[in-house]
């Protein structure tokens, strides 16, 4: 059976690469345009006023910095429309990373009115400028039929062209295409070939896929020692699904090598990244006192966070746990846990795919971030279950 890729949400789109992250957590991988600024000789800090003046005068460096500052709320009030304005300025100067940004802005409706056709135009411009992220995004849009007529063959051709150039993200996406049967007949053997190639190129999504294959995929050789190596590599790169899967793996297999409190730390990091299942697992751990002190107030807090994060998908699975935890607490304890959960959600409102060291402190944007492919859904019930 052949499937069609589907967008996961307004902000997290299957397979799309953006040069920035619409979140409080950022992927610190220099884009095609920003790397020279980041790796070259650092220039002295200049004042906000000078940045503004140079940006207005058309200096690309300052346009990118100002755009990133407005996007992150760094030194200025966060303003997505201003971020879009300055990325547009940089994109109009031919900056391929900013062109990818504008494509994602238009696709997700960030700082501009959503317009898939405009997104396609920007991704086309980025691709023509040599951006591999732009080409990959075009491939996804052709596979999805978003902003363009659906053209599976062209989408696959674009992915194969990236793979021929040893592009690890293109290789990983081909693995996804074959594991799901997107425009091709499903073929797990070919899928693993591409995942393996991409993992050897240190692609975090492919490392996650290989870890998933070796740990929870029915019909595949089970090798938890290999799985944990792949998942650690992916998690160390900041990939949220890997953090969740690794945390769950070490919880379920205490015989595997692991540090004290590692499972909880991984699950908390994944929860911060928006994984409602991680929040739910944390609720279960505190409910049962598994690896952490038993605390129904904390369990209720995590269940409440998970329900808010997961929405309609999470509510049926969490209803019984929330009801049971609530009934065991006093009214005052319930309110304290609910207020704590609300504050947590306010602090960590976004769904992220990568969480990496350093945060949004890099002086220059754009940055490359891989938005969730549907690799996160390639789990057996054990890999995805909160029970």
Which DSSP string corresponds to 275-298? -HHHHHHHHHHHHHTSSS---HHH
Counting residues of the chain whose pLDDT is more than 70, the rounded percentage is 79
Model confidence over 155-191: pLDDT tens digits? 999 999 999 999 999 999 999 889 988 888 999 999 9
Count of the separate structural domains present in the chain: 2
Radius of gyration of the chain (CA): 21
Q: Which CATH number belongs to the domain containing residue 238 in this structure?
A: 1.25.40.10
CA distance 145 to 123: 14
pLDDT band of 42, cuts 50, 70, 90? very low
Q: Decide if 251 is inside a domain.
A: yes
Hey, what's the torsion of the CAs at 267, 270, 274, 276, to 10 degrees? -30
Mean pLDDT computed over every residue of the chain: 81
Does 192 fall in a domain?
Answer: yes
User: What's the pLDDT at 13?
Assistant: 32
Question: Which candidate, 129, 220, 142, 213, places its Cα nearest to that of 172?
Answer: 213
pTM, entire model: 0.76
With a cut of 80, say whether residue 268 has pLDDT above it: yes
pLDDT score at 165: 94
Q: Are residues 55 and 202 in the same domain?
A: yes
149 and 263 in a single domain? The answer is yes
In a domain, 212, yes or no: yes
Same-domain pairing of 100 and 141: yes
Structure tokens belonging to residue 193? 């070939």
Question: Which pLDDT tens digit goes with each residue over 278-314?
Answer: 999 999 999 999 999 999 999 999 999 999 999 999 9
Each residue's pLDDT tens digit, 60-84: 999 999 998 898 788 899 899 999 9
Regarding whether 80 and 152 lie in a shared domain, the answer is: yes
Whether 106 and 118 share a structural domain = yes
Of the candidates 163, 142, 137, the one whose C-alpha atom is nearest the C-alpha of residue 13 is 137
Residue 6 lies in a domain: no
Does 9 fall in a domain?
no
d(CA 28, CA 360): 8
pLDDT for res 184: 87
Instruction: Please tell me the distance from the alpha carbon of residue 387 to that of residue 277, in angstroms, as a whole number.
Output: 10
Give yes or no for a contact between 139 and 174, defined as CB atoms under 8 angstroms apart.
Answer: no
Contact 32, 130 (CB under 8 A): yes
In terms of residue numbers, what domain contains 378?
17-274+348-384
Identify the residue whose tokens are 């994944």.
270
Q: Are residues 51 and 23 in the same domain?
A: yes
Indicate if 144 and 269 belong to the same structural domain: yes
* Calpha distance 207→336 (Å, rounded): 40
Co-location of 190 and 298 in the same domain: no
101 domain-assigned? yes
Q: What is the DSSP letter of 30?
A: B
Residue 10 inside a domain? The answer is: no
Length of the chain as a residue count? 387
Q: 201-253, pLDDT tens digit by residue?
A: 999 999 999 999 999 998 899 999 999 999 999 999 888 999 999 999 999 99
Same domain, 257 and 298: no
Lowest mean pLDDT among 4-18, 104-118, 291-305, 315-329: 4-18
Burial 72-96 (b: 16+ CB within 10 A, else e): bebebeeebebbbbbbbbbbeeebb
Q: Is residue 84 domain-shared with residue 216, that is, in the same domain?
A: yes
Same domain (yes/no): 343, 353: no
Q: Which of 365, 371, 278, 373 is nearest to 67 (CA)?
A: 365
Asked whether residue 209 falls in the same domain as residue 311, the answer is no
Strands (E), the chain: 17-18, 369-370
pLDDT for residue 365? 31
Give the model's pLDDT for residue 350: 66
Q: What is the largest CA-CA distance in the chain?
A: 63
348: confidence class by pLDDT, cuts 50, 70, 90: confident
Does the residue 3 lie in any domain? Answer: no
């Amino acid at each position: 059976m052949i499937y069609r890729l589907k967008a996961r949400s307004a902000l997290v789109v299957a397979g799309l690469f953006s040069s920035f992250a619409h979140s409080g957590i950022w992927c610190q991988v220099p884009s095609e345009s920003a790397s020279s600024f980041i790796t070259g000789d650092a220039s002295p800090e200049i004042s906000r006023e000078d940045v503004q003046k140079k940006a207005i005068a058309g200096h690309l460096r300052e346009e990118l910095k100002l755009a990133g500052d407005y996007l992150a709320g760094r030194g200025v009030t966060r303003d997505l429309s201003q971020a879009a304005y300055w990325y547009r300025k940089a994109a109009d100067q031919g900056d391929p990373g900013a062109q990818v940004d504008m494509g994602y802005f238009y696709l997700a409706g960030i700082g501009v009115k959503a317009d898939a056709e405009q997104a396609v135009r920007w991704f086309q411009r980025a691709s023509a400028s040599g951006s591999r992220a732009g080409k990959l995004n075009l491939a996804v849009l052709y596979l999805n039929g978003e902003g363009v007529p659906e053209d599976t063959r062209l989408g696959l051709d674009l992915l194969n062209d990236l793979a021929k150039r040893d592009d690890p993200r293109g290789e990983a996406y081909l693995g996804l295409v074959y594991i799901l049967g997107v425009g091709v007949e499903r073929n797990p053997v070919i899928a693993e070939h591409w995942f393996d190639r991409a993992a050897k190129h240190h692609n975090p999504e492919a490392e996650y896929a290989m870890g998933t294959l070796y740990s929870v995929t029915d019909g595949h050789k089970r090798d938890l020692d290999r799985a944990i190596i792949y998942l650690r590599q992916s998690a160390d790169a900041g990939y949220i699904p890997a953090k969740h899967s690794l945390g769950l793996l070490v919880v379920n297999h205490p015989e595997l090598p692991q540090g004290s409190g590692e499972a909880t730390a991984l699950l908390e990091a994944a929860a911060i990244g928006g994984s409602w299942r991680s929040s739910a697992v944390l609720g279960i751990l505190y409910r049962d006192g598994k690896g952490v002190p038993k605390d129904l107030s904390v369990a209720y807090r995590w269940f409440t966070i998970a329900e808010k994060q997961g929405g309609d998908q999470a509510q049926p699975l969490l209803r019984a746990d929330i009801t049971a935890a609530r009934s065991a607490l006093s009214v005052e304890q319930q309110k304290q846990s609910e207020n704590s959960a609300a504050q947590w959600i306010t602090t960590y409102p976004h769904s992220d795919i990568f969480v990496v060291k350093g945060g949004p402190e890099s002086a220059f944007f754009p940055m490359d971030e891989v938005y969730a492919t549907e690799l996160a859904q390639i789990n057996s019930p054990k890999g995805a279950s909160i029970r």
